[in-house]
Structure 1
């Protein structure tokens, strides 16, 4: 569906050349939700804007739905962009137009007749859950409702691809989740390919099938979301994974517990897929002469299954404790000893 080959983007500034995207190869499959995550300045916004030629690459090729985007004539590019919808962090709505008029705007530009415009707008209003708000103006809507209008407008021309440029960054957590649920619903109903950029691993965890991690204009790691959670390779990726699996309060709580000399051996257990539902702690207590205390734990859902991280303390004589740790590893559960070696 989308292929990037040796894509690069260099900006000329008064202080010299700045490389925003550096020699990236990337393939995104039809119908998948693909995330690009990175901190500010990583180059992710420039990357996504090159998919529809809002930014022309300095080097390399961009193909979307079999069409080479760079090098097109202005007319061909306008036609190709109708296959690519885009939503933005700050909505970019027309404030003097109603919800229905905002959604209809791309259809007006395309020259669709009024009757077909009205029919399509009604379909989209229902799809994004804005029934009864078609006559409202953006100033009368909540942030989540504004983004729903933005999504409906982006879908007006039945695109094959939807680009999401930090689409939930301006929203509160509950509203963010509702918008992410809507995107998943749209992906399933329409078979739409969705590419989103974000700096929040929660967004990646909740809806993406695959993810690329960007740093300094390069993709430093990519893969299935569940695999990235399970075995992050790069330091940058590990930082993002910790946003979801190890909140700051977990680290602070564990540091406080380490001051207790009787805490024993502290393990971080990582469960993936069906393993996250297993009664592992019960099995350990039944089979080994050890005491197990659960310090903190969390199970998260990804599009490909469950991911769980559990911190436990095991106390007892060295031999049964070692045997218990060996037993855990034999169950295909990843174990990291973080205290008490």
Structure 2
């Protein structure tokens, strides 16, 4: 669907050359929700603006359905952009136009007849949950309603791809969840490919099928969301996973736990999918003469299934503790032994 090869964007400032996107390579499948996450300055906003050439790449290629977007002339690009919708963090609505007219605007530009515009706009108003608000102005809408208008407008020309540039960052948590649910519904109903950038792992966790982690203009890690949650390799990825799993100071926490629980072995358990329902703790207590103290635990849901972690202390004879750890390794639950402080 989307193939990105050696994509690079260099900005020349007064003092230095800044490589905002640095030889980035990605492949995004048709019909998936693909997340790009990174902290401020990682290059993610520049990257998504390169996808529809709101920013011109310094080098590299972007292919959409085997068409090289980077090689298109201005008129050709205008037509190609009709297949790429985009929603923004701050909505970018026309404040002097009603909800209806905001959604109709790209259809006017495309030369769609008044009758067909009216049919399409009413269909979209219904789709995004704004029935009865077509005559309202943006100033009369909540943040979530404004973003629903932005989504409807982005869908006006039946695009194949929807780009979301920090689309929920200006919204409160409850409204964020409702917008994310809407995007999932649109993805499932229309088969739309969605590329979403964010700095919030909650957004990735809730709706994305795959994710790429950006740092200093590069993709440092990518894969299925559940796999990235389970096996984060890079330090920046671990920080993002800890946003959702509730321990942003994981290393400090482990050191503190080791100081306070020197008499036993502290281990971290990772549960995936159906394993989150596994009665492992009671099973250990029955099979081995060890005391199991639960120190911390959390389960979260991704598009591919549940993922849970639990930090426990095993107290008992050293040999028996080691036997219990080896027993855990024979199950489908992964175990990580914390290093001694």
TM-score (norm 2): 0.95
SS in 1 for 2:169: coil
8 Å Cα contact 1:168-1:179 kept in structure 2: yes
8 Å Cα contact 2:242-2:250 kept in structure 1: no
8 Å Cα contact 2:290-2:321 kept in structure 1: yes
SS in 2 for 1:90: coil
Match of 2:111 in 1: 111
8 Å Cα contact 1:82-1:159 kept in structure 2: yes
| CA deviations over 1:72-97 (Å, ceiling 9, x no partner) | 12111110000000000001011111
Q: What is the aligned-residue RMSD (CA, Å)?
A: 1.8
SS in 2 for 1:221: strand
Match of 1:338 in 2: 338
Q: How far off is 1:52 after superposition?
A: 0.5
Partner Cα distance (1:268, 1:99) in 2: 51
Structure 1, unpaired ranges of 5+:
none
Match of 2:132 in 1: 132
Partner Cα distance (1:191, 1:73) in 2: 28
Match of 1:76 in 2: 76
Partner Cα distance (2:98, 2:298) in 1: 43
Partner Cα distance (1:107, 1:243) in 2: 40
Task: Tell me whether 21-30 or 263-272 shows the greater mean CA deviation.
Answer: 263-272
| CA deviations over 1:261-294 (Å, ceiling 9, x no partner) | 5763222111112211211112111111112122
Match of 1:321 in 2: 321
How many residue pairs are counted as aligned between the two chains? 341
Partner Cα distance (1:25, 1:339) in 2: 36
8 Å Cα contact 1:83-1:158 kept in structure 2: yes
- The answer to whether residue 170 in structure 2 is matched with residue 170 in structure 1 is yes
Partner Cα distance (1:228, 1:174) in 2: 25
Task: Tell me whether 235-244 or 330-339 shows the greater mean CA deviation.
Answer: 330-339
Match of 1:270 in 2: 270
Partner Cα distance (1:139, 1:171) in 2: 16
8 Å Cα contact 1:51-1:64 kept in structure 2: no
Partner Cα distance (1:256, 1:228) in 2: 26
SS in 1 for 2:23: strand
Partner Cα distance (1:261, 1:70) in 2: 58
SS in 2 for 1:70: helix
SS in 1 for 2:102: helix
Match of 2:96 in 1: 96
Match of 1:17 in 2: 17
Change (3 A) 1:252 1:71: closer
Partner Cα distance (2:173, 2:310) in 1: 24
8 Å Cα contact 2:180-2:207 kept in structure 1: yes
| CA deviations over 1:281-323 (Å, ceiling 9, x no partner) | 1211111111212222111111111111111122222222221
Match of 2:42 in 1: 42
Match of 2:233 in 1: 233
Partner Cα distance (1:66, 1:278) in 2: 46
8 Å Cα contact 1:267-1:339 kept in structure 2: no
Partner Cα distance (1:31, 1:188) in 2: 8
Match of 2:214 in 1: 214
